[in-house]
Amino acid sequence: MTKKERAAAVTELLKEAYPDAVCALHYTTDYELLFATRLSAQCTDARVNIVTETLFRQFPTLQSFAEAPEEEIAAAIKTCGLFRTKARDLKACAIMLLSQYGGKVPDTMEELLKLPGVGRKTANLVLGDIYGKPAVVTDTHCIRLSNRLGLVKDEKDPVKVENALRKLLDPKESSDFCHRLVLHGRECCTARSPKCESCPLGAVCLSYPISK
């Protein structure tokens, strides 16, 4: 089985196991997803969702983020970790979105990467979930599972994993594929003590004890 064939097989098995491929972060607007993803750095999605439930009520518009003192934003996101840096980025990002993009989150990788605190992971998530464009979000689950499944080999660099997966995945499936990897990584293929005996991907996983 080639890597491309394996990727196609994994895609179909994931679709069967996790038919609802949804982003774990809660949001209602384009910039809320952008900000929530920035907050998720070195923080769990569950914690971010708790924080943003209050944060987006306290600062209900981009303008309110732009006008707020950094200290106020920092206090609201303190439990997310790295809160001072993240507060600085949220405020600067809000200002830039208003002044340069008419309050709209841009829809290209090039423009998204110009925003404060935005890297390829965040940009890909926005492109896939907001704009429905082909995207590969290489978070820790994606990197771990891509290695275990044999889609990449001993590769930890997010950009290299992203580029490898882009060559293997159907572009129309890539964004949902990554969401499903997160679900599978949390439920079954955990970092420690993965539940291989009940894994729906066992038949095509190179790390599975009896896989071929």
Q: Helix/strand/coil (H, E, C) string of 167-190?
A: HHCCHHHHHHHHHHHHHHHHHCCC
Select which of 45, 89, 139, 176 is catalytic.
139
Please spell the DSSP secondary structure of 26-81, one letter per residue: --SSHHHHHHHHHHTTTS-HHHHHHHHHHHHHHS-SHHHHHHS-HHHHHHHTGGGS
Does 139 qualify as catalytic in the annotation? yes
- 122: tokens are 């965040």
Select which of 30, 45, 86, 121 is catalytic.
121
Which sign does the torsion angle of CA 133, 136, 139, 141 carry?
positive
Does 154 qualify as catalytic in the annotation? no
- Which residues are catalytic, by number? 121, 139
